[in-house]
Structure 1
Amino acid sequence: MRPFGQRLADALGRRGPLCVGIDPHPDLLSAWGLGVDVDGLARFSELCVDAFGDTVAVVKPQVAFFESYGSAGIAVLERTIAELGEAGTLVLSDAKRGDIGSTMDAYARTWLSEDSPLCSDAVTVSPYLGFGSLAPALESAARTGRGVFVLAATSNPEGAQVQQARVADGRSVAQVVVDECAACNEGADELGSVGVVVGATLTEAPDLSALHGPVLMPGVGAQGGTADDVRRLVGDRLGAVVPNVSRDVLRAGPSVADLRAAVARTLDGFAFLTK
């Protein structure tokens, strides 16, 4: 398989710079007239696949909302991942996994191994047990042509307590994470496969100039981030930015046509990323 970074660059060029989340929050299920149960979860996911699978570059199922229904919810997630892949979109599973040793190795097999029913094009991971703890996921992604997005400077205000702390050389912890990811991307053609997560609600972003990888930017829309914030935070690295919008698009449902129209409106707001 071609490296994830190359496939992502192609997808952004063809479908535009956007990641849409599948976040089956109980309030959204109710707003769509669906039951807050596995049947409602399955129908919600089916409608999202129909709306986004052949139109959006990246679709990001939020794993926690599926896990909350136990094994039946995981079965829905497995089907959703498979159907999105068949429809031609890249699947980024938002699992935020992070651990050490054999446990991290198991997480890597779950989300990045071809023989796993949850295998995705990429997965979100947390480096806050030390960046080196991510080695199993980074190695698996490189071996299988998949990607990881590493939490660096997230959109939640609580994150600053850890992410903006300073290490001995004066860098923020978030900057250390970005720099470690940049080292992983050295020598990659076009776009590396190790991305970072940087929130669109931040007042200042880490220095991304050497990353040579994608930047996933959550916090746009419902959390208050705007297209202008994205432009301000990423500077001249516009071609590698993937804004993530979930609730602002999902509120347009359950009509597939209305969901697609919401995607089109959102893409219009980020036209500057394609120039």
Structure 2
Amino acid sequence: MPHGNGTFGVRLAERMRSRGKLCVGIDPHPALLREWGLTDDAAGCERFALTVLDAVGETACILKPQVALFERHGSAGLAALERLLADAADREVLTIADAKRGDIGSTMAAYADAWLRDGSALAADAVTLNPYLGFESLRPALNLAAETGRGVFVLALTSNPEGADIQHAQVRDRPADGAPGGATIGHAVAWIIADAAAWENRDAVGLGSVGLVVGATAGAAVRTLGLELGKLNGPILAPGIGAQGAGRAEIIDTFGGASALVLASASRSILAAGPDHGRLRAAAELALAELGN
């Protein structure tokens, strides 16, 4: 079982109250590795990741390693990620594996097994998922997350311009489970998560463990698509803070009454301050102050 008591949502809600709502990305991009004086290999990624953990693990609400940047170094890169996740768990630092996995049937079950199963070397407190093979395709991950007390974040609205081609598309036929006909795909994802009680106990105390990924600069799309994010029972992971231009004003504009659910995710604006621990910690504290928490 993941560390701490209760479900991921309960643990996350407590951490948000005590530390604020900052999620710090651990993104060992080649350029950042060079700037930090590290080699662009698995050893460099591990040193980078553990430095971030040491510097901001007790400041941030949660840490989010970008899985692809470890995978690019093969099995040694994944071993570095495993070390990070294990050390974070030992220190009771919450983690989101930013893997964006999505498939069907036994393949989705295998992804769930990797990222959400007790005893897996890759198990994090939560994982990001891609719903675009159909929300029902996520059932193996949703079920295993509920069983192990972990969480998932389902991609809904991303900040990249190309995402709108799919995320804003109209659903021609009436979606399953009675969602309104003509709803956008993003609307359908939000509607199902908000209203499908089968995924988790809606009467549970605290935040739910099934959340959405919605870009912090997606305010116009949220309004245009009519997404009622305030009905969501789980957290909202909001990339785009800091280097991508979003701050407290954009969070309020995008999420309105749902702002209390938002985990604001920052990466480059904090990581650029490394490798010095004090500067990294100061950058995280500045981001928290700018968010007003």
Query: Same fold per TM (> 0.5)?
Result: yes
| Structure 2 equivalent of residue 263 of structure 1 | 284
Q: Distance in 2 between matches of 1:241 and 1:211?
A: 11
Q: Distance in 1 between matches of 2:277 and 2:25?
A: 15
Q: Distance in 2 between matches of 1:189 and 1:135?
A: 23
- Confirm whether residue 89 of structure 1 aligns to residue 93 of structure 2: yes
Alignment of 1:61-140 (within 5 A): 61-140=65-144
Deviations 1:42-77 (A, max 9, x none): 211121110122221110000000000000000000
Q: Show structure 1 runs of 4+ deviating over 3 A.
A: none
Q: Secondary structure at the match of 1:55?
A: coil
Q: Distance in 2 between matches of 1:52 and 1:92?
A: 15
Deviations 1:160-195 (A, max 9, x none): 101101124122111111111112353332211000
Larger mean CA deviation between 166-175 and 134-143 belongs to 166-175
For the Cα contact (< 8 Å) 2:217–2:254, is it kept in 1?
no
| Amino acid of the structure 1 residue aligned with 2:186 | A
| Amino acid of the structure 1 residue aligned with 2:207 | L
Q: Distance in 2 between matches of 1:221 and 1:53?
A: 19
| Amino acid of the structure 2 residue aligned with 1:91 | T
- Confirm whether residue 179 of structure 1 aligns to residue 191 of structure 2: yes
| Structure 1 equivalent of residue 176 of structure 2 | none
Larger mean CA deviation between 31-40 and 191-200 belongs to 31-40
Gapped regions of structure 2 (runs ≥ 5): 173-180
Shift of 1:128: 0.1
| Amino acid of the structure 2 residue aligned with 1:53 | G
Q: Distance in 1 between matches of 2:47 and 2:95?
A: 18
Q: Distance in 2 between matches of 1:221 and 1:52?
A: 16
Deviations 1:27-51 (A, max 9, x none): 0000111111222112111211101
Shift of 1:212: 1.3
Correspondent of 2:264 among 237, 243, 248: 243
For the Cα contact (< 8 Å) 2:247–2:291, is it kept in 1?
no
Shift of 1:204: 3.0
Correspondent of 2:146 among 138, 142, 161: 142
- Confirm whether residue 50 of structure 1 aligns to residue 54 of structure 2: yes
Provide the identity percentage: 51
| Amino acid of the structure 2 residue aligned with 1:253 | G
